[in-house]
Structure 1
């Protein structure tokens, strides 16, 4: 999808702006990407927004707002807030709050992410608490700890070896397509799609501020147009790709798909709200961004949740008819 964005930028600028896509670690490590762009060591970088929560806690609200920011914002509603609810302006301010010489470009929404993979089925939170569970770092992982899960944060390359050695018993990564490429189905067979830890996950492009200033107005506009296109193309692409992957997992790998226990949602949401409130009290900009999301949610979520309920019921009716056949 990043190469797709780069191709669009090249075409829209008649080749005056070209992005050379290098693999992670080719110049600097993933964790050093933001500082390398800020210092001009590289002209641009690509990563997941919530990676920078250590620089500023509000990065999480743009990259991975835990439990839908505690106000029911899903990945599509997030884009609505970002584009029309004041999110984009606050996002531009984020880099100033970090004191980074960077122009951020939001590109790729992902999600909702799956709850994860387990050795045995879980019927309640009591069952869940029996397992050592790989979680993402930051607030999503801390929320699991707060509800009594033995949460273990680790890098992607360490997950499968840890599962095979019994260091952890369950894990989350992303969604059916990335999970299947990762190879979870070779180790675990019980899969839960519905989770709250990363209902929304976003990746973005970072351009050095001096490089951005040198671009013409038309070139900047072309990048913005390509970025807006990338948001919807990324959503559309992932729905179909994840669908194909889930079909393969259940039909060819004996993966069993389960519904997440109901008590999970109540416990996780309550703990997430407490963590969000705690961070809002500590940081003014965090509070400002979260208030913007809450203001948006009061208007948009009642409508969108109601509409999505109808969509979900429609989809479930069709999915169940397929399963019966």
Structure 2
């Protein structure tokens, strides 16, 4: 065989081999269709941590699919008002939403069970219940009637008790208080004499400033600092007993979710779980610094009295008893929560609580501060 003939054959063979490797890509690509969805968020862009959860989901999906699965995120008000995001996913206005279930409690109180109920779980306990205790599955059983599929998409940890224009020392101070508070917690506070107002995040500051409301709860130090509440309502209370570990959720139109290939469905669940865990980590890093800054700028930190907490706890149990007799889906989910709650707080009193308490004592004694070196 001549040199020229050999090189020609080798070139053809090499090209064929290269073509074989190139041809494999379209075959894979055919199994990964191009999907373009829209997502309605319940949150304004200024709240980068909670709003950012939806953007993080979009980024993760794009990176994992080479851009083939794309979700375009719209802030509250860009397509629908923030409190209507879940409904927009139900009716197909958008394929997905990033919201909190209790925003829809007026449609059905059982929506709140997938987010948070007063005096139930911390974020860690909620995570265990969601992923290992059947919480996700039972919530999706309920959501089926609304053509929705949902997965956790964030958690803030225990929230603060909100901003008040006056001090709250007793239950008497709650009487007639006009307070922005979301979802089922408003019904609980009503029993304490509070007049609940459900107002979207972007409208809270002007309502406080004008005196339309006397108090407002939002999230915690990091997000609250962005909204400037300390300028118009200086008393900052804790804890937000109505949200010990609130789950922010992704809601997907069930028909659109069902059209996805199984690989995309699995990827979507995995990305949601990553966002769920990452949001809590972000808040845990940002809130301590933000709280120091709020106090330095004039916020007056206060704890709710035992009288207020006990009164609210009793009121919450009254509400749960009422709802359990009125709503089968609420009862089913609430009873599932209770099965785990007692065990959790029994265990939490041992190693976790003891360790944290000891370390808090060291912090108060100034033994945890970094030393200059």
TM surpasses 0.5: yes
Match of 1:282 among 323, 326, 337: 326
Tell me the residue number matched to 1:165: 210
Equivalent residue for 2:136, pick from 70, 78, 88? 88
> Are 1:36 and 2:84 counterparts?
no
> Which one has a bigger Cα radius of gyration?
2
Residues 309, 263 of structure 1: alpha-carbon distance in 2 compared, 3 angstrom cutoff: farther
2:82–2:200 contact (8 Å) kept in structure 1: no
Which position in structure 1 is the counterpart of 2:309?
Answer: 265
Contact 1:131 1:168 in 2 (8 A): no
Aligned residue for 2:219? 174
- Indicate yes or no: 2:256 matched with 1:217: no
Q: How many matched pairs?
A: 317
Note closer, same or farther for the CA distance 1:13–1:305 as it changes in structure 2 (3 Å cut). farther
Q: 1:20 aligns with which of 53, 72, 78?
A: 72
* 2:160 corresponding residue in structure 1: 114
Counterpart of 2:284 in structure 1 is 239
Report the TM-score, using the length of structure 2 for normalisation: 0.78
Partner residue in 2 for 1:132: 177
Shift of residue 151 of structure 1?
A: 4.0
Per-residue CA deviations over 1:173-197 (Å, capped at 9, x if unaligned) read: 2211111111112123221221312
Say which is worse superposed, 263-272 or 28-37, in terms of deviation: 28-37
> Which residue does 2:149 correspond to in 1?
103
Deviation (angstroms), 1:201: 1.9
- Show the counterpart of 1:303: 347
CA distance in 1, matches of 2:240, 2:77: 30
Q: Is the 8 A contact 1:33 1:45 kept in 2?
A: yes
Aligned to 2:188: 143
CA offsets, 1:203-246, max 9 Å, x none?
21222222212222211111111111122111111111111210
Deviates more, 1:296-305 or 1:59-68: 296-305
Q: 1:59 aligns with which of 94, 111, 129?
A: 111
Distance across 2 between alignment mates of 1:57 and 1:183: 31
Deviation at 1:169, TM superposition (A): 2.9
Q: Deviations over 1:223-282 (max 9, x none)?
A: 11111112211111111111121011122x022222221111111111101101110111
Q: Which has the higher contact order (CA 8 A, sep 6+)?
A: 1
Aligned twin of 2:27: none
Do the aligned partners of residues 270 and 7 (structure 1) sit closer, same or farther apart at CA in structure 2, a change above 3 Å counting? same
CA positional deviation for 1:157: 4.0
CA RMSD, 1 decimal: 2.4
Moved more, 153-162 or 228-237: 153-162
The CA deviation string for residues 80-119 of structure 1, in whole angstroms up to 9 with x for no partner, is: 11111111110111212xx222221220112312111223
Between stretches 80-89 and 150-159, larger displacement belongs to 150-159
**Gapped regions of structure 2 (runs ≥ 5):** 1-52
Q: Which whole-Å CA distance do the structure 1 matches of 2:176 and 2:361 have between them?
A: 33
1:45 aligns with 2:97: yes
Q: Which runs of 5+ in 1 are unaligned?
A: none
Matched, 1:314 2:358: yes
Distance 1:79 1:179, change over 3 A: same
